[in-house]
């Protein structure tokens, strides 16, 4: 199983203390998926390459890893 980095748009809440909370992941086709819950947040490397702050999320009942790498967001995907 090879993973790829799929760069996505993210709608987020930035708290007054600077904390970033991703709320929605937006695909290029205009579809928007609500992040139901953030299970974990920690600095990690991705098996798809790169590293950054990893948000382990529940999106539509599926566990997904969303990364903030410098100033861009990507999600681990099975397809490029």
Separation between Cα atoms, residue 77 and residue 21, nearest integer Å: 21
Tell me, what's the pLDDT at 71?
Answer: 93
Is residue 1 over pLDDT 80?
A: no
pLDDT tens string 9-19? 999 999 999 99
User: Can you give the residue range of the structural domain that contains 54?
Assistant: 4-77
Question: How many other CB atoms are found less than 10 A from the CB of residue 57?
Answer: 21
Q: How many structural domains is the chain composed of?
A: 1
Tell me, what's the pLDDT at 41?
Answer: 97
pTM for the full predicted model: 0.92
Tell me, what's the pLDDT at 45?
Answer: 96
User: What would the two tokens of residue 55 be?
Assistant: 């948000």
pLDDT tens string 28-80? 899 999 999 999 999 999 999 999 999 999 999 999 999 999 999 999 988 76
Is residue 7 over pLDDT 90?
A: yes
Question: How many CA atoms lie less than 13 Å away from 6 in the CB half-sphere?
Answer: 17
Per the rule left: phi > 0, alpha: psi between -120 and 50, beta: everything else, 47 is alpha
Separation between Cα atoms, residue 14 and residue 35, nearest integer Å: 15
């Amino acid at each position: 199983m090879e993973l790829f980095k799929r760069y996505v748009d993210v709608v987020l809440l930035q708290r007054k203390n600077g904390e970033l909370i991703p709320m929605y992941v937006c695909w290029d086709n205009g579809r928007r998926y609500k992040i139901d819950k953030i299970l974990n947040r920690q600095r990690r490397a991705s098996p798809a390459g790169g590293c950054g702050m990893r948000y382990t999320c529940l999106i539509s009942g599926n566990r997904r890893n969303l990364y903030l790498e410098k100033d861009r967001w990507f999600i681990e995907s099975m397809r490029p």
